[in-house]
Amino acid sequence: MSTTTHPSKDKLVDDLRLLISDAEELLKLTADQQGGKLDDLRTRINSRVAVAKDRLADAEAAIVESGRKAARATDDYVHENPWQSIGVAAGVAFLLGLLVSRR
């Protein structure tokens, strides 16, 4: 999985969390209003918010698990190839040093 998809997943989770909190706040603000259609709408929104919360929890768990898998894979690679890892780290440090020294 590429690292460019993680920010969009994180943003999606944050957006869903905001949407759920806004929907819950709307339900609280309209709780004192009565009406057949409004009660039906409130019931549907409550059930959909519950489903969205479950899906959000699943998405968060998937993101955390993919992060753990990436960390495990990196750790395994470093333990299996320590000299290559040191070389890559030295190369990256050298390039960062060049970039910083130009400024």
pLDDT digits (tens, 9 = 90+) for 17-40: 888 888 888 888 777 877 777 778
- Show Cβ contacts of residue 41 under 8 Å, excluding neighbours closer than 6 positions: none
Report CA torsion sign: 67, 70, 73, 75. negative
Please report the pLDDT score of residue 96 as a whole number.
93
Which tokens hold the place of 38? 């409004």
Q: Which residue has the higher pLDDT, 53 or 4?
A: 53
The rounded distance, in Å, linking the Cα atoms of 78 and 72 is 10
pLDDT digits (tens, 9 = 90+) for 51-75: 888 888 888 888 889 999 999 998 9
- Indicate whether 93 pLDDT > 90: yes
Spans of all domains in the chain? 5-102
Is the model's pTM score more than 0.85? no
* Degrees, nearest 5: CA angle 4-5-6: 95
